[in-house]
Structure 1
Amino acid sequence: MSHEWGRVGEDGTVYVRTADGERPVGQYPAGSPEDALAFYTRRYEALALEVQLLEQRVNSGVLSPEEAAEAIKTVRAQVTDANAVGDLASLSGRLDALSPVLASQRKARQEEKAQRAAESKSAKEAIAAEAEKIAEGTDWRGGANRLRDLLDQWKSLPRIDRASDDALWRRFSSARTTYTRHRKAHFAEQNERRESARVVKERLAAEAEELADSTEWGPTAGRFRDLMRQWKAAGPAPREVDEQLWQRFRGAQDTFFGARDAVQAELDREFTANAEVKEGLLVEAEKLVPVDDLETAKKSFRDIAERWEAAGKVPRDRIKELEGRLRKVEQQIRSAEDEQWKRTDPEKSARADDMVSKLEAAIAVIEADLAAARAADDAKRVQELEDNLASRQSFLDMARRASADYGG
């Protein structure tokens, strides 16, 4: 029996037709020729389905080019030696048609790989540069955390060419090593400083505790201020003891200043009565100004000042106000005294009297000359002398007033 792609011989041998002629694919002695051809045709259909599935997988990119090439090789061997009846040449052609697809996929994979490598190289260069910048800084906490993040990023990136990858890794690793070394040195130095601070603060706390019961309020308060400056300058001690030492130091301070403030509060109550006395003295003092009788004002002020000193201290918040009011009265009395001295200055009075005498003598001479000019009927000379006399008379009036002022 004959078929488009094969036939069955009289002895039951089944043949498939190919471009190179026909070849036997098997025997089917048990059934009819139709059954034989149907059996071997179904084998072809199964093989065609396998080719179709391979095409789909290759075209979809599910398989890598290498996996696809191996699968094609396997299926091609099955097609070449297939014991089936059908267009085996078309199946081989379909397998051949997958070669350009694989070539395109290989090229795309290579381009994608090159792109990933370039991106990975750029990312690793950025990581190395950032790590080097961190290594130059002093951010000991944030820098360490960031370097850990950068290491995780590095591990997630694909490798690039070995030479570049090794060179960039050396930069990154060297930066991490440098940062770690500097960080350890920093904390070692910090621990040393904190240990030194602990020694200083223990000494300061002990001295503060010795001063806590002192009643020398002024000197001890000054010493506590010195101790506080030293405490701040010492810097932090180890965390586990710093707060404990501060509580000791602060407690001693509170004890001393609490006692001092209690004593001061008692004194302030006593000083309030003194302030009332001084307010009464201020009323007396402020009545002395403006000054009418300087000597009386001075005498009264001296008496007020003596009683002021005898009245004693006043509350600290009243000192400036009360002392200011008293000083104001004192300044007004002194101003009045200075003004009187200016008026009664002996040297100035003598100079004024001398000027009066000289002007009077000059005027007497001018009057004599004026009388002579009038007698001679010298009108021009009379006019000159009269003008001169008027001017000298005006100066004489001013000199007499000045003399009267200085003479009191």
Structure 2
Amino acid sequence: MPAPVEAAPAPPAAPVAPAPPADAAPAAAPSPASVTPGGAGAAPVVAVASADPGKWGRVDEDGTVYVKTADGERAVGSWQAGEPTEGLAHYARKFDDLRTEVELLEARLTSGSGDPKQAAASAKQIRDGLAEATVVGDLDGLAARIDFVLGHASKAVDKAKAARDQARAAAVARKQALVEEAEKLADESTQWKVAGDRLRAILDEWKTVKGVDRKTDEQLWRRFSKARDTFNRRRGSHFADLDRQRAQAKTRKQELVELAEELSESDDWGPTAGRYKDLMVEWKAAGRAPKDADDQLWQRFRAAQDKFFARRSAVFDERDAEFATNAKAKEELLVEAEKIDPSTGLDAARSALHRVQERWEEIGKVPRERIRELEGRLRAVEERVRQAGEAQWRRTDPEAEARAAQFRERVEQFEAQAAKARAAGDKRRAEQAEAQAAQWREWLAAAEQAVASR
């Protein structure tokens, strides 16, 4: 069967989506009008031409195929292959392919899965080709439907542009915030590890922020790069200074270690122990050396200290044992000393005490906490002997009796003067003599009491 003859080829269109499957339900039949509005804001409904191709075209006697439009009929081709109804159906199916393609564009726009710009271009290409399309169908309705799709695409393009602008503004704002944070870290932070980790995290995030225009992105990147360089210089300078300080600390601690090792052989226990305390203060003031060196030097320093204090402890332990023995010996000697009784003979008591004192010194030192107790008991014995000696001296002192006799004589003289003056009627001289007699009488009483207490 020969192929149909068409009046003119259809203009090239955007890629045509696959036609609906054969078993798909046909679209609703067209209404009497070419275009039936679906309602406020709804897409115009386009009839399925293949359902009733005779509504949209005809085939004349010589086989020319016409399509009906609002502007009148237009020849779209020729059909010589069979019945006229078959020709109309053929051209109607071609129309349905265009209609399906437009509906697919609209569906993609509505779902958001399509590119609005590409959809608009495809719809416009179809719209521009309708005037010469070799199809039979509701061309006016399809044109209105395409216009609806173009309007929808325009809105989608504007919306996509607004979304891109918003995303770009958000991306610029985020990179701006990252730059400002990096600059603050670069200028202020001394938490070198934390700040360094944060700058690396900022760089990682920076790479994920997309949509910034090239010029703005390059300006922000230069600021961020400068901030990283500033931070790295400050950190490098800090650690260079720290290395110098640690080198100085290492030198100083080596000197302290050598001093500590020299002192470890000293037998001058007290001053050397004090010097070790001073060295420890100087060690802390020296600061930290490099870790490995610092640990090694500290081990040497502690070893020297431990050696000295171990030697001192050994000596002190031996001395303490000796002092404990001495304390026991002195306790035994005190038992003997406390038996001395001056009342049975002062000279014998003094002699016995002298022998105790000599032996006491020969015994030597005792523990510090026992000194007061033991010395106190010995002092008590010494005091008892001393008091006995003083009492004996007072009892044998001839000057005490002479003083008492002298005071008694002076009392008698002033009493005689007072009596004589009173007899002569000289009251004033009598009172003066009596006052002097009273004073000497007090002194006499004291002298007689001293003699009596011997």
Match status 1:32 vs 2:83: yes
SS at match of 1:3: helix
Gap change, CA 1:25 and 1:243, over 3 Å in 2: same
Equivalence for 1:241 = 293
| More displaced 10-residue stretch of structure 1: 297-306 or 237-246 | 297-306
Higher share in helix:
1
| RMSD between superposed Cα atoms in Å | 5.0
Q: Is the 8 A contact 1:194 1:235 kept in 2?
A: yes
Equivalence for 1:150 = 202
Stretches of structure 1 lacking an aligned partner (at least 5 in a row) = 289-295, 338-343, 345-352, 373-392
Rg (Cα) greater in structure: 2
Query: How far is the alpha carbon of 1:145 from its aligned partner?
Result: 0.7
Gap change, CA 1:69 and 1:279, over 3 Å in 2: farther
**Aligned pair partner of 2:284 in 212, 232, 254:** 232
Alpha-carbon distance in 2 for matches of 1:51, 1:297: 142
Alpha-carbon distance in 2 for matches of 1:48, 1:63: 18
Equivalence for 1:58 = 109
Q: Is the 8 A contact 2:56 2:67 kept in 1?
A: yes
**Aligned pair partner of 1:310 in 362, 365, 370:** 362
Gap change, CA 1:86 and 1:177, over 3 Å in 2: same
Equivalence for 2:228 = 176
**Aligned pair partner of 2:151 in 100, 111, 119:** 100
Equivalence for 2:96 = 45
Equivalence for 2:398 = none
Alpha-carbon distance in 1 for matches of 2:356, 2:231: 78
Gap change, CA 1:34 and 1:313, over 3 Å in 2: farther
Q: Is the 8 A contact 2:124 2:150 kept in 1?
A: no
Length, aligned pairs only: 368
Query: How far is the alpha carbon of 1:274 from its aligned partner?
Result: 1.9
Equivalence for 1:347 = none
User: Deviation per CA, 1:57-84, whole angstroms, max 9, x where unpaired?
Assistant: 1112222332332232334345454322
Q: Which has the higher contact order (CA 8 A, sep 6+)?
A: 2
Matched AA of 1:155: K
Alpha-carbon distance in 2 for matches of 1:131, 1:299: 96
User: Deviation per CA, 1:237-282, whole angstroms, max 9, x where unpaired?
Assistant: 2223332333333333333333333333333332321232345567
Gap change, CA 1:99 and 1:309, over 3 Å in 2: farther
Matches within 5 A, 1:103-114: 103-114=154-165
Stretches of structure 2 lacking an aligned partner (at least 5 in a row) = 1-51, 341-347, 387-393, 395-403, 424-437
Gap change, CA 1:201 and 1:221, over 3 Å in 2: same
Match status 1:9 vs 2:60: yes
Equivalence for 2:69 = 18
Tell me the percent identity: 43
**Aligned pair partner of 2:373 in 317, 325, 332:** 325
Matched AA of 2:58: R
Q: Is the 8 A contact 1:195 1:237 kept in 2?
A: yes
SS at match of 1:265: helix
| More displaced 10-residue stretch of structure 1: 138-147 or 116-125 | 116-125
TM-score (norm 1): 0.69
Alpha-carbon distance in 1 for matches of 2:90, 2:117: 34
Equivalence for 2:305 = 253
Equivalence for 2:254 = 202
SS at match of 1:236: coil
Gap change, CA 1:28 and 1:225, over 3 Å in 2: same
Gap change, CA 1:328 and 1:268, over 3 Å in 2: closer
**Aligned pair partner of 2:170 in 104, 119, 129:** 119
Matches within 5 A, 1:325-344: 325=373
Match status 1:128 vs 2:167: no
Query: How far is the alpha carbon of 1:56 from its aligned partner?
Result: 0.8
| More displaced 10-residue stretch of structure 1: 319-328 or 301-310 | 301-310
Alpha-carbon distance in 1 for matches of 2:56, 2:321: 131
Q: Is the 8 A contact 1:279 1:322 kept in 2?
A: no
Query: How far is the alpha carbon of 1:7 from its aligned partner?
Result: 1.2
Alpha-carbon distance in 1 for matches of 2:333, 2:159: 108
Matched AA of 2:88: L
Alpha-carbon distance in 2 for matches of 1:231, 1:182: 29
Alpha-carbon distance in 1 for matches of 2:239, 2:249: 15
Gap change, CA 1:265 and 1:3, over 3 Å in 2: same
